[in-house]
Structure 1
Amino acid sequence: MTVQRKPRPSVPSSSGQSKVGNGLTGEGAEGAKNLWKKNKSCQQKLNICTYNTRTLVGEDKLIDLENELEHINWDIVGLSEIKRRGEELVELRSRSMFYYKGRDNDSNSGVGFLVNKNIKDKTISYRNSGDRIAQIIIQLTERYRLQIIQVYAPTTNHDEEEVIELYEEVYKLIEEEKTHFKIVMGDFNAQVGKKDDEKETSVGNFGYKKRNERGDLLVDFAEANKLK
């Protein structure tokens, strides 16, 4: 018996796709290049994490998170599902910076960042695209910048169109910021599993669980935009 795979909806791409839902056309976003190998003068080590907090409503939750982070080396933590309302940038008792964006009328979703006090002066900007996507720009050196996009994707009980719109917004941010290094991270509510096709370059040979439809979308997006 042969099984025909359900056609995948198109995802925003920097190549191979002439048009996406918002009318953008790809002009060649190249993803992250390992320029550090070529220029040792800009070598530095950053510890970057992503974490689904389930909730950061209440100052006690935020204090608990800060206390836990004292046990690991970290510079930037991308946060998903913080469930705080509104938008704010605050300096915490540890002197680290906490940026978040949530909904105005209810305590669902929400994304943000914790930026360590040791690197906060290198943070150029904070920005959001709704309550599911946030980004920061880090000035690594005089020449090199790093863009980090934090994502909290809709769960499987949401319409697929909502997920496609999220990827389109992420694509817009990738294209708009001309940085040398780019990281897209977060909770995509997807199962990627292991490499499904030898032509795939964004996925390795080992993975947990079997890939689902949301995993197909994530891999397609990574392949189209030369992400790993």
Structure 2
Amino acid sequence: MNQLSKFKYDIIGLCKTRAKVESRTKWIQIGDELVIGEGNGQQRVGGVGFIINSRIASHVIEVQIHSHRIATLKLDIGRKTPLLIIQIYAPHKEYGIDEIEKFYSEVETHLSQPAYQKIVIGDFNAQLGPKDTNQRYLGKFTSGTWDKNETGELLVDFADASKLFIINTLFQKPPNK
């Protein structure tokens, strides 16, 4: 955790933690909080959580670990509308389309909470491929070197239905990232 002192951050979303048990820890030396949900049973699959900088810890309304794939953090950001951060770790395509659609349905349930500004962060385990001209919520920097896979299609449909931009596509990244 000494590595964190090299970075400026308010919140770090964690996924694929594979933790055995759910835990909440406060680091005495720096005052930051670590909240981790447990992985999925014996397989220790998934696991999501947050690292919350001590500067904003007093603004936290609530942290909830809903499953080994979804956690939420509610913050009072000093505006009329609080902020809801949804940290996710989506199933791989090997889990099958039914499991992935069930996951997106659960995320949509959290997005439907009224009176919150919303951000969804995490690993969607999706390849977007080149952008189609009719995809409104994608930037121009999708990965044109890979073909879009089925989970990529689901992510694009989810973003469109939820009116969420896929921010990772708005900025150019180095090759192979």
Task: Bin the TM-score by the shorter chain.
Answer: 0.7 to 0.9
Q: 1:42 maps to what in 2?
A: none
Unmatched 5+ residue regions in structure 2? 166-177
2:108 matched to 1:143? no
Q: 2:35 maps to what in 1?
A: 99
How many corresponding residue pairs?
161
2:18 matched to 1:68? no
Unmatched 5+ residue regions in structure 1? 1-65
Per-residue deviation, 1:70: 1.6
Paired AA for residue 139 in structure 2 = G
- Kept in 2, the 8 Å contact 1:129–1:169? The answer is no
Q: 1:167 maps to what in 2?
A: 104
Per-residue deviation, 1:185: 1.1
Higher RCO by CA contacts (8 Å cutoff, separation 6 or greater): 1
CA distance in 1: counterparts of 2:164 and 2:60, whole angstroms: 23
Per-residue deviation, 1:104: 6.5
- Kept in 1, the 8 Å contact 2:46–2:69? The answer is yes
Q: Report matched runs for 1:1-228 at 5 Å.
A: 66-93=1-28, 94-103=30-39, 105-106=41-42, 107-179=44-116, 181-196=117-132, 198-208=133-143, 209-228=146-165
1:163-183 deviations in Å (ceiling 9; x for gaps): 11110110000112420x211
Please provide the CA RMSD for this pair: 1.5
Q: Under a length normalisation based on structure 1, what TM-score does the superposition of the two structures give?
A: 0.67
Paired AA for residue 195 in structure 1 = K
Q: 2:173 maps to what in 1?
A: none
Per-residue deviation, 1:195: 1.9
1:84-131 deviations in Å (ceiling 9; x for gaps): 123222212321111111147322210000000110110100112211
CA distance in 2: counterparts of 1:135 and 1:89, whole angstroms: 14
Per-residue deviation, 1:73: 1.3
Per-residue deviation, 1:156: 2.1
Q: Which one has the largest radius of gyration?
A: 1
Paired AA for residue 156 in structure 2 = V
Per-residue deviation, 1:142: 4.9
Paired AA for residue 207 in structure 1 = T
SS in 1 for 2:83: strand
Per-residue deviation, 1:150: 0.6
Q: Under a length normalisation based on structure 2, what TM-score does the superposition of the two structures give?
A: 0.85
CA distance in 2: counterparts of 1:104 and 1:118, whole angstroms: 32
CA distance in 2: counterparts of 1:168 and 1:129, whole angstroms: 13
SS in 2 for 1:70: helix
- Alpha carbons of structure 1 residues 69 and 160: separation in structure 2 relative to 1, 3 Å: same
Per-residue deviation, 1:194: 3.6
